[in-house]
Amino acid sequence: MRKSLFLIIVLLAFLTSCQKKMYTLEEDGGVVAKCRITGMEEHGESIEQIDSILTLRLKHVAPGVIPTIRYNEPDSTYAIELPGLKTERIAPLFAHGNMTISEIYTYPEVVQMEVGMNLVDSIRYYYTLEMTLNPSLLLSNINEVAVATVDSIIGVNRERANFPEDIKFAWEYVDGERANLYMLRDTDANININRTFKKSAIKPGIEDRYDQMDITLNDEGAEQFYDLTKKNIGRILVICVDNTVLLAPMVYSEIEGGQITISGTRSKSGLMLLNSLLYSPIIKSDIEILATTIVDKPNI
């Protein structure tokens, strides 16, 4: 009896030591995001539900980081505390999480359209930007100020109905400071990953610096993916989250069985984020980040 009790105590102590550390702002520093959250009443969503979704996402991206959401009554904003997090690049965590695989228009295809040339001419006229040499992009390596300018130009052109009905513009952010602009084709051929997702896993790639992500779709998604890849061999397909490009893999052959392997990218954080969004519900409300504050870890 004493031996069994001793073994139980040792086992409990071992399990306790194996638990991941839970971070706090006071001991570990972290990030505090001042946010405005709208649409909760409209979508029947509560702060508790949003907190639960963020916790689930962080479990896959940064284990041990538990969010806390505090309401600031004077200005009707929320402070979302992320203790232990070491980066200001937190916006993707607050995404709705709508994920799609989309076809794109290439730059030469857009230039051949009269409306496409109107857009290109407008961008060149209003802002000095070099067109990209990458045929899959309209613009590349654009800074934050230029992104805002291009968005305003696109808005004006859209109001004038200068685009095909099925074209959408989506930015891919690189290292948080530069951006590439893709032109998506908004068609029925695109795949809703949230609805057709079955399972996923991140695995080490052939080289240590390259990881890969394997995504398995259900039967409906597998059939759609086969048709989409067969149609787009030698072209880029983009994986988007809320109309922001997360990854843009090249299609080398049609793919059967609903198995998607994303490889050849150094963006491990992008793969981890995608994985976290796949395993968490969609946030229905809009979360707008107004400011972020880095809380340094105290020197002891």
pLDDT digits (tens, 9 = 90+) for 232-243: 999 999 988 888
Chain segment 12-58, per-residue pLDDT in tens: 343 333 345 678 888 888 999 999 999 999 999 999 999 999 999 98
Enter the pTM of the model.
0.72
> Which range among 202-206, 216-220, 279-283 shows the weakest confidence by mean pLDDT?
202-206
Hey, what are 96's tokens?
A: 């709705």
Q: What pLDDT shows up at residue 132?
A: 57
Chain segment 51-93, per-residue pLDDT in tens: 999 999 988 888 888 999 999 988 899 999 999 887 777 887 8
C-beta of residue 252 within 8 angstroms of C-beta of residue 182: no
Hey, what are 218's tokens?
A: 């259900």
C-beta of residue 170 within 8 angstroms of C-beta of residue 245: yes
What are the residue ranges spanned by the domains of the chain?
21-95+283-295, 104-185, 188-278
> How does DSSP classify residue 92?
G
| Distance between CA atoms of residues 158 and 152, nearest Å | 10
* 21-95+283-295 fold: Alpha-Beta Plaits (3.30.70)
Q: What is the DSSP string of 42-79?
A: HHT--HHHHHHHHHHHHHHHSTT---EEEEEGGGTEEE
- Closest residue by Cα to residue 251 from 233, 264, 265: 233
- In CATH terms, 188-278 corresponds, of 3.30.300.30, 3.30.1360.200, 2.40.33.10, 3.10.310.70, to 3.30.1360.200
Q: Which residues pair with 101 in a beta bridge?
A: 191, 239
Instruction: With a cut of 80, say whether residue 196 has pLDDT above it.
Output: yes
